[in-house]
Amino acid sequence: MGIVVILNFDRRGVMNRAALCIKMLKILKSRDIVSTAELAELLKTNPRNIREFRKELEAAGYHIEEKRGRYGGYYLDDRDLIQIPKLTKEQLQVLAHARQFIKAHAEFAEGDQFEEIMDDVAAAGSSYSNREMPEIGYSFSVDRHSGLTDHEREMLSQVLASMKSSYSVELSYMKRGVNEPASILVDPYHVVNIEDNWYMIGWSHSAKAFRNFRFSDERMLDIKLTQRRFTKDPNFNFKNFIGIDSAFKGKLNLYEVEVNPDHARLFREDFKGRELSQKENRNGKCVFSFTADNQYQVYQLLFRFGDAVELILPVEFRDEYIKRIASIAKVYGISLDPDD
């Protein structure tokens, strides 16, 4: 008499286990050393299962090493290659939104490197051609900007829409030093966030040049989408408009200052990144030179050091700085002669 054995085969459970093993493999490939507890949390499974997953992956030919100790965990042998799966259109859309968001934040120093990485990720994980790539969204984070008023957010949305459709916009804009708003026809090219302030860079038809316009209720009073289409200049690069010490580029000037020796280290720290170089000491003081494109930003930095730093060059900025100090002293009832 034969014996009949009935096996309860849970196909769904096996498939789920296989998916978890593959996911664990991807985590180990993309990271350094991952602890059992961290793997269990990422995979949403019991820590005891991690050892079983490791055995199954090793049975499949993958070499998973283990480092013991307080900071130990599992890691994948570098010689093991994993086929990167094709990204879905939804995943590519997320990458596109992330790319557009980073491009809008000029203060992100690794922007160029991020662009290259995004290209590599999209190329490695996608079989779409450029024509099939999802369109980059132009409303990537408008609703999340708490620093904008409702009106400013609405104007930003209109500009993003006009960028997408390549329509010019008509601004009612308060220029600096003018009491009446001007009507300006602009071809919007780029929106950028600098130090929590939002700007549009666009071609001004009145100035016949690229200009920046700040999203501010005090300056940008109104905006209208026109029916006039424009063709973007293929050579435009918004990074050509970003300054070193200011939001947008100004004239680059060479500065020279004398610093008390006991403040030299602090000065080097604060002025790092401005092509700072130290010359031979003069009159018992450290002499530094650096470049900047905004003298008012330099004035602010120098003012913090008080009498520990003396501005030597440029002479015209030195004279202006002295006059500003004299005018501040006058407010407090102290008379200074800037010509002394």
The confidence score (pLDDT) of residue 192 equals 79
76: its two tokens: 């994948």
> Pick from 245, 246, 271, 273: which is nearest to 257 by CA?
271
> Pick from 87, 90, 16: which is nearest to 24 by CA?
16
146-241 — its CATH code?
2.30.30
pTM of this structure = 0.46
Mean pLDDT by 10 residues, the chain (340 residues): 44 66 83 85 89 86 81 72 62 69 63 67 50 40 61 89 89 87 93 78 92 90 92 77 54 87 86 74 89 81 89 91 88 74
The confidence score (pLDDT) of residue 128 equals 44
Give burial (CB, 10 Å; 0-12/13-18/19+) of 182: exposed
Report the topology of domain 11-76: Arc Repressor Mutant, subunit A (1.10.10)
Separation of alpha carbons 239 and 110, rounded Å: 13
CATH architecture designation of domain 253-331: 2-Layer Sandwich (3.30)
